[in-house]
Amino acid sequence: MPATLMHAPLTCSLAARFAAAEGKVPLEIAYLNLQTKKFEEGGSLYDFNPLGQVSVLRLESGEIITETSTTLLWIQAQSSEPAFRREPNDPDYYQLLRWIVFCATELHKQIFRVVFYPEATDDVKDRFRELAPQRFALLDSHLSDRPYLLGDRFSAADAYLAWFFVLAKNAGLDSSQYRNLQAYRSHLLERPLIQELIVSDRQKDAGMTR
């Protein structure tokens, strides 16, 4: 039986779905409403993560893995696709860690976390949006001579960054002036498996009871 991903549409657990699709790693999906923390099939996210946050994976053994970074690393380790999986003895593995952690700390938690926080004032949100250009410039420079973060192959780190771009416009973040980053963004979001999951998640989100 595959591991179960506890998934709220369009949230960071979508990055795990991107990675699983690209790495051909089967997952069961347990949909939930992140506002209520309730699963469609009953039960509460708090039963699995006391913080009430995704990403959460329940392994076949019953073990629970939390944090998007960790779920991405677990998924890529399960992949049998040599073009996707990076082994710990591969020098690229540490670049994989580097960019997953970058997405988690510099983009997800540092910018998105505040910008989407309803209690944050507009002034506070704008100050955190001002962090984006420096990070976009770093990514733009890095992507000047490679199609993906680790070179010529899509990785779990790219899955995380793809999710960031799904919601970047909603957060008022514009990367269009960064030519390399914009080309990378377009290329990521046009990948058939990613495009399919974005459409599916938007439909699911629209149909969920609030």
Q: What is the pLDDT of residues 62-109, one digit of tens each?
A: 999 999 999 999 999 999 999 999 999 999 999 999 999 999 999 999
Same domain? For 12 and 73 the reply is yes
Percent helix, strand and coil across the chain, each rounded to 5? Answer: 55, 10, 35
* Number of Cβ atoms within 10 Å of the Cβ of 133: 15
- pLDDT above 80 for 60: yes
| pLDDT at site 1 | 82
Give the residue numbers spanning the domain of 150.
91-191
Find out whether 65 and 57 touch, Cβ atoms under 8 Å: yes
Same domain? For 73 and 118 the reply is no
Same domain? For 122 and 97 the reply is yes
Length of the chain measured in residues: 210
- pLDDT above 80 for 115: yes
- pLDDT above 60 for 210: no
Same domain? For 139 and 176 the reply is yes
CATH code, domain carrying 201: 3.40.30.10
Helix (H), strand (E) at residue 7: strand 3-7
Rounded to the nearest integer, the mean pLDDT of the chain is 96
For 120-170, write each residue's pLDDT tens digit.
999 999 999 999 999 999 999 999 999 999 999 999 999 999 999 999 999
Same domain? For 63 and 143 the reply is no
| pLDDT at site 208 | 84
Domain count, the chain: 2
Same domain? For 39 and 121 the reply is no
Structure tokens, 125 = 């949100």
Same domain? For 63 and 120 the reply is no
| pLDDT at site 209 | 62
**For residues 132 and 155, what is the distance between their CA atoms, to the nearest angstrom?**
23
> Which of 11-15, 94-98, 115-119 is predicted least confidently?
115-119
